[in-house]
Structure formats: structure tokens, C-alpha cells
Structure 1
Amino acid sequence: MASHRRPKPPSQARTTVLTATAAAAVALSAQSASADPLPDPNKKGVEAQIDRLYEEATQATEKYNGAKERAGSLQKDVDSLQDAAARKQADLNGLRDRIGAIAAAQYRSGGIAPSVQLLLSSDPDAYLDQASLVDQLSAREVSDLQRFQSQQRDLLQQRSQAATKLKDLRDTRTELESKKKEIQGKLAQAQKLLNTLSAKEKARIAEEEERANRASSRTDLGNESSASSRAAEAFAAAKSRVGMPYVWGATGPGSFDCSGLTSWAFKQAGVSIPRTSQAQASAGTRINSLGDLKPGDLIIMRTDLSHVGFYAGNGQILHSPKPGAQVRYESIARSGMPFMWGVRI
């Protein structure tokens, strides 16, 4: 397979999206966070607090992503159950019409026979146990009654399931809103702290960010091959996004959070993987040693599994790291996040 040396950087318009200052990048557009490195223990004061807030925001983002995925699944379940219940109700209405026609005909001829009373009974099961009454029904009437009973039970069950799913959906949407507020609150706090820094300090932070981007553009990835063609395709897709901004909850193609990048990249390779870093951690074959990883394998970071990226070769990770950053290559050893394990899809 061809060399994995880092390809030519994308256009200037893309690579300068968030390099003005780290503060400007956190400018809370109602989006922004999901995979920040742990605070550097050498940093002090305000910067350490900002790093901590970024970390907490990115951890909350993965929880938000999970809740959003659950909400989508629950909505599909609710829609399916409600559609099935509507169809079932239409069938029951048709059966009631036939039973009503029998009752009307018998009433006009001198009264409703026990057989029709059976059909109209609120407890037809009890009547069916009485063989003498069943004998008075035609085969068609018995069939209609049995079908009515079965569909009525199914309808009640579907309505009960739909009600349960609706409650779960409401609870999940409440969780979504809570996580969204938490993320925005963390980022607002970080912005407030950034605003307390002097112009010189802000310029230094911006230069550090730009230096990381320049280092990414010079990364030597070595010549390792991917473990599979699908991993190679996903990795190639992710490489095409270098320079794109980190945005919390984003799944591309112009911005990403950490798991948004990996799930989007595999989708380009025709492979569906879970949305969140925690779910992606068990989406394939687990690789416990860094030395056994191949380009395109997923890398799971942090003890709570709240960060994910691609192994890029030569000890590098390709990821969307944090608020105010771009999709880029970084040394795993210097990322500040503990490596947990790799995942081969």
C-alpha cells in the first residue's frame, strides 16, 4: 500500500478556520465540544481551569451524542408502533361493522340471537367457553370473532408499548436538553476565563494552537499499511478533513467532534459504526497494545472512553481534539490523554 506520509494540506480557507485565537474559537455558536485532552499538569491558574472546562465539555458532548442517538432510535420505534396501531384499529373497525350488520339484521327479524350477543360481548372469551353458544355461530362469525379478539389484544399491547416508548423519548429529550446546557455552560465559563487574559497571553495561546497545526502539516506517518481495505478507506476520508474545525455534536462534512469524525469517515467507506466514543470502543476487535495498531484502527482515549481518533502510523493520532482546535495529527505520547486500547473495524 502507498505511503501514509501526510498528504498536502487543504486550502488556506479551511486551515485558517479557527486559528485567530483559541478564544475566538470558543465563541459559542450554540455548538462547540467533544474530546479535549486532560489538562497539562505544568499549566497553572486560568489556563489549567480552561483546559479542565474543555475536558468536561467534551465528556458531556459524548453523553449528549449518546442521548441524541437514543432519541432518534426511540422516535423510529414510536412511529412504527403508532402506524401499526392505526392499521390494527382500521381492521377492528371493519370487523365491528360486519358484526353490527349481523346484529341489525337479527334485530329486524325479531331480536338479537345469543350468537350475536356473544359477538358483541365485552367478554367474548367467556362466551366462547360455552360450546352450546358457539354451535349457534356460523364458521364465518367464529372466524370474525376470533380475529377480532386477537387484533384487539395486539392493539392494546402496541398502544402500551408506544406509551412506554413515548415516555422514554420524553426522558431522553430532557436529558439531551440538560447535556446541551451543560456543554454550553462549560464553554461559556471557558470563554469568560479567556476574556480575563491579557492580549499577550491570548496571543501566546493562539500561537501554541497554530504551532500544533504547523506540526500536524509536517507529520511523518511512516509507510505502514492498514489492516483492511475498509480501514484504509475510512482513514483516507479522515485525512481529507484535516484542517476542519472541532464543533461539538458535529458529524461533518465541514466540522466534527471526536466521534463525529470517526463515524463519518467509516460511513464514507460504507461501514456503519456507533456514534459515540464509548460505543465505538466495543465496535470491533480490541487491540490492547499500541505497537499492534495499524493505520485506520480506532484509538480509544481517557479512562471514561470519552475520546476517539484514528491511529495514523508512527505513533501519531489523527483526531478532532477539542474546542478551538482543528482536525489534525498529534503524537499520542504528547496528547495528554491516556491510551486505553485500539479497535479494529
Structure 2
Amino acid sequence: MASHRRTSQYGQATLAGVTVLSAALATAAALSAQPASADPAKHPAAGREAATAQVDKLYEQAERATEKYDGADARAKELRDEVATLQDRTARAQERVNRMRGRLGALAAAQYRDGGLDPTLRLMLTERPDSYLEKASALDRLGNAQAGRLRELRAAQRSLEQQRRETVRKLAELEAGRKDVARRKKDVQRKLAAAQRLLNALPRDAREAYARASRSDGRGEVAPDLAGAVPASGRAAAAVAAVRAAVGSPYAWGSSGPSAFDCSGLTQWAYGRAGVWLPRTSQAQRGAGRQVPLSQAQPGDLVIYRSDASHVGMYVGNGHVVHAPYPGARVRYDPVAMMPISAVTRP
């Protein structure tokens, strides 16, 4: 997350008070051993730098955990829809089986009321000889129809049982998905709480400096010069207009608008406003279109960051993206090369 805050465009003067990136690079090895409860006041320079670097590290971990939460939540929603569909199909299949049983039961009752007399003998005794062949043919057709109904009933019963098994399996998967969502939610909350505790332990001037750096001192909400930037398509133009309108909105993990966003929630929402469906996570969005080189990026393209594709922004032209950076920050403009890029995808 340090790379979110540190950009050459906005100047080092604003950020010098926190020195997050330099501290993150210089103390990366030490951070794993540093306890989160360390008191920065005891070591004014190294302690504050290590604490702010650790906050950045926790925010980055929280964003990765948020993407996993979003993926688990999206899958749980899909499963809920699948279960509802299966339950509806199972109910309709049960109704069909019941109707078939009713019809066959009526036929069996009618035959029983007729005394169970052999059909051929009954025709010979009660019908005129010249109509015997015609009646026998009709009875044969009736027997074939009844046999066909029995076969149809058996097939319907097998289908019903299969639907029931599939529903039970999906319900179990849905329950496991709900538990996964709850577990990942707790993971995000733990990391954010740990980051907040570190920030609260900093002296007031350091907290304020960190807050200014997190907001890019307001400059990230000012649109860069985008003259001449031509979107890849009409739907890309609509998505760019939407994402630019969201600049200044707060980051909120697990949110996809319209008033707050996490990174993939922002791009999903913006393309949704353009009538285009995108998957929920940045990992899935990486594969939601044609990949192009960064040198050929056009407004509306999705820029996927880090090797694990845990962050995404939307390219808006002239070397800039709009993205939802991390908790505590707002949707803003940043240079496209603010962190390592893993892919550029054109939906």
C-alpha cells in the first residue's frame, strides 16, 4: 500500500513527514519481527517510520483479504441463486410426479371396479363379434399408453431424486460458503483494527502527517489533463464518466457503490453504469476481456496491480488511473505506474 501514497507527481515534500516508502524498503526485514504493540514514542524516528510502514503493510494485507472476502461473498450469492432455482425445479418435479401417480391410480381403480376380468374374455362375452377386433385394438392401445405412463413416471421419479441430491449438495456448499465469508470478514477486520491501533499510538503530528499523505493532500481528487484521451468504445466512455464521477467517494471494504467503494467494487460499479457486467474481484476482472500492452492502454481499460492481482484501477488517459486506494483514503487519480502492473484488460 505504500506505493499507493508515494508518487512522483505529487511531490516528496508533502510525504516527507511520514517517509512510508523509504521506511518500508529499509525496514522490510525488520518488520516481520517487530511487535505491533511497539510504542513509537520510545524511538521517535525509527519507531514512527516502522509503525507507519507497518500500517501500510497491514492495509495492503487487508486489501488482499478484502478481495478474498469479495470473492467468497460473490460465490455465496451465486450459490443462493442456484439453490433457489434447484428448489423451484424440485417442487415442480414433485408436482409432476404427483400428477402422474394420480392418473395411474385412477386407471388402476377403474380396472379394479370392473372386477379384474380378463379384458379379452370380457370383450368376447359382452360385445358383438363384428366389433371385437376394433375394441381389442383400442384396449391394446390403452395398455401401451398405461405402460408408457409408468415408464414416464419412473423417469420423473429418478429426475426428482437427482434434483433433491443436487439441492442438498448445493445447500451444504452454501453453508460452507457462508462460514468462509464470515471468516474472511473477521480477517479483514483484524488487520484494519491492528492498523488503527498503530495509528492511534503515533503522536498527533505524525498521525496528521500520515492522514495528509493518505489523502494525497487533496491533490488526488483534482483531475489531470485528459485532453485527447479517447476511450476504447462507447461503453468504455460511459464507464470512464462513471468512475470519474466517483472521485472523492470514500473507500469502504466490501463495498461496490454507489456512495463508497473498494477497488474492484469501483470498477464493477462503473462498468455496471455502462451496462456491462464485470465479476466482483480484481483477480476475476483480470480475465474479463482482452489483455493489451500498457503502451496501448485506452481510457476504460482495467489496470491490474501486483502479481496476485489484488488491486485494480481504471485507466482514464494520459498516464493516469482512477482507483479506490485503501481504507481511510478516497477514490482518486494516481499515475498508472504507482505500483507493479500485472495486466491491462479491455472489457
Quick check: 1:205 aligned with 2:210?
yes
Aligned twin of 1:313: 317
Counterparts in 2 of 1:174 and 1:330: CA distance versus 1, 3 Å: same
Provide, for residues 207-262 of structure 1, a one-character-per-residue CA deviation record: whole Å limited to 9, x for no partner. 22344422441523342211111111101110001000000111111000001110
What aligned pairs does 1:91-102 form with structure 2 within 5 A after superposition?
91-102=96-107
Give the whole-Å Cα distance in 2 for the aligned partners of 1:256 and 1:341: 21
Q: Which amino acid aligns with 1:344?
A: R
SS at match of 1:225: coil
Aligned twin of 1:220: 225
Aligned twin of 2:272: 267
Q: Does the 8 A contact of 2:221 with 2:331 survive in 1?
A: no
Which stretches of structure 1, 4 residues or longer, exceed 3 Å deviation after superposition?
37-40, 102-113
SS at match of 2:25: coil
What aligned pairs does 1:172-321 form with structure 2 within 5 A after superposition?
172-217=177-222, 219-288=224-293, 290-321=294-325
Q: Which amino acid aligns with 1:300?
A: I
Give the share of equivalent positions with the same residue, in percent.
46
Q: Does the 8 A contact of 1:213 with 1:326 survive in 2?
A: no
Q: Does the 8 A contact of 1:319 with 1:327 survive in 2?
A: yes
Match of 1:159 among 159, 164, 168: 164
Q: Which has the higher helix share?
A: 2
SS at match of 1:317: strand
Q: Does the 8 A contact of 2:223 with 2:333 survive in 1?
A: no
Quick check: 1:344 aligned with 2:346?
yes
Quick check: 1:145 aligned with 2:147?
no
SS at match of 2:219: helix
Give the whole-Å Cα distance in 2 for the aligned partners of 1:191 and 1:63: 21
Q: How far is the alpha carbon of 1:162 from its aligned partner?
A: 1.1
Quick check: 1:325 aligned with 2:329?
yes
Give the whole-Å Cα distance in 2 for the aligned partners of 1:185 and 1:341: 30
Give the whole-Å Cα distance in 1 for the aligned partners of 2:77 and 2:150: 38
Provide, for residues 276-320 of structure 1, a one-character-per-residue CA deviation record: whole Å limited to 9, x for no partner. 1001101111013x2211121110001100110111222212100
Give the whole-Å Cα distance in 2 for the aligned partners of 1:112 and 1:160: 43
Q: Does the 8 A contact of 1:39 with 1:52 survive in 2?
A: no
Aligned twin of 1:41: 25
SS at match of 2:206: helix
SS at match of 2:232: coil
**TM-score, length basis structure 1:** 0.77
- Structure 2 unaligned regions, length at least 5: 1-20, 28-48, 119-139
SS at match of 1:99: helix
Q: Which amino acid aligns with 2:105?
A: G
Give the whole-Å Cα distance in 2 for the aligned partners of 1:157 and 1:218: 57
Give the number of the structure whose alpha-carbon radius of gyration is greater: 2
Aligned twin of 1:125: none
